[in-house]
Chains A and B, each alone.
Chain A
Amino acid sequence: KNEVEQSPQNLTAQEGEFITINCSYSVGISALHWLQQHPGGGIVSLFMLSSGKKKHGRLIATINIQEKHSSLHITASHPRDSAVYICAVRGGGADGLTFGKGTHLIIQP
């Protein structure tokens, strides 16, 4: 079973700061997902990565397959970025995702 660890668990930052959230996993994967859970509970998929880097607006996700590590970066952070960010991985043969516990991000104005 893949173990997915996220750090930090909680992060409070000021508006405008550059944010980094880390995810590491224990077993080789076919894909890694970053998701955002809003304060109201809804979950939205942000990225799916199998290699390299992806960018969407102010969000950047990178993955290093050899090191079994991924990072999610937020540039020019804004209070509306406040949410729980969740890393999840898909194993080679199984369906469904294995999730990290999430990083609770608060951006203060």
Chain B
Amino acid sequence: NAGVTQTPKFQVLKTGQSMTLQCAQDMNHNSMYWYRQDPGMGLRLIYYSASEGTTDKGEVPNGYNVSRLNKREFSLRLESAAPSQTSVYFCASKVLRGGADTQYFGPGTRLTVL
């Protein structure tokens, strides 16, 4: 049981390049999330998916697209990277059990856009 996995761990892009951040969970969770973490700020929600086949915008969706490929996988795509997208990106999944929900986070992807 690997939990939530993310690839790659580190990435450097040039402005205008595109890339996809991959996330997978093996816990059979319905809900999955993408957050970004910037220095001096709390984590902010980019997009989320409440179930397979559905996605919704979070607080900071501009410049990103997502795909919920199946129940396990939730990818985040940057079509044309900008320096403002330099950040650490975390994927998470959520389980709701007995009225309490717990989010499980991946290890993060550190992205630098030059």
Interchain CB contact under 8 A, B41 and A101: yes
**What's the tally of chain A residues with a CB closer than 8 Å to chain B?**
22
**In the complex, what residue of chain B is closest to A96 when comparing beta carbons?**
B45
Binds A, one of B16-24, B69-77, B99-107: B99-107
Q: Closest Cβ of chain A: how far from B74's Cβ, in Å?
A: 13
Instruction: State A97–B100 Cα separation when bound (angstroms).
Output: 14
Q: Using a Cβ cutoff of 8 Å, how many contacts connect chains A and B?
A: 54
Q: Which residues between 87 and 102 of chain A lie within 8 Å of chain B, taking CB atoms? A: 88, 90, 95-102
Instruction: Tell whether A86 pairs with B56 under 8 Å between CB atoms, given A95-B31, A96-B33, A97-B103.
Output: no
Residues from chain A with Cβ under 8 Å of B43 in the complex: 86, 88, 97, 99
Residues from chain B with Cβ under 8 Å of A99 in the complex: 42-44
Interchain CB contact under 8 A, B101 and A102: no
**What's the tally of chain B residues with a CB closer than 8 Å to chain A?**
24
Q: Which residues between 74 and 114 of chain B lie within 8 Å of chain A, taking CB atoms? A: 88, 90, 92, 100-105, 107-108
Q: Closest Cβ of chain A: how far from B82's Cβ, in Å?
A: 23
Residue of A42, A90, A95, A97 near B108 (CB, 8 A) is: A42
Mask: chain B, 31-62; 1 = CB below 8 Å from A; 0 = not: 10100000011111100101000001011000
**In the complex, what residue of chain B is closest to A44 when comparing beta carbons?**
B105
Instruction: State A102–B39 Cα separation when bound (angstroms).
Output: 11
Instruction: State A31–B94 Cα separation when bound (angstroms).
Output: 14
Please tell me if A41 contacts chain B, counting CB pairs below 8 Å: yes
Binding site for B on A (CB under 8 A): 1, 4, 31, 33, 35, 41-45, 48, 86, 88, 90, 95-102
Seed contacts A31-B101, A96-B33; 12 additional CB < 8 Å A-B pairs? A42-B105, A48-B100, A86-B42, A86-B43, A88-B43, A95-B33, A96-B58, A97-B45, A97-B103, A99-B42, A101-B41, A101-B42
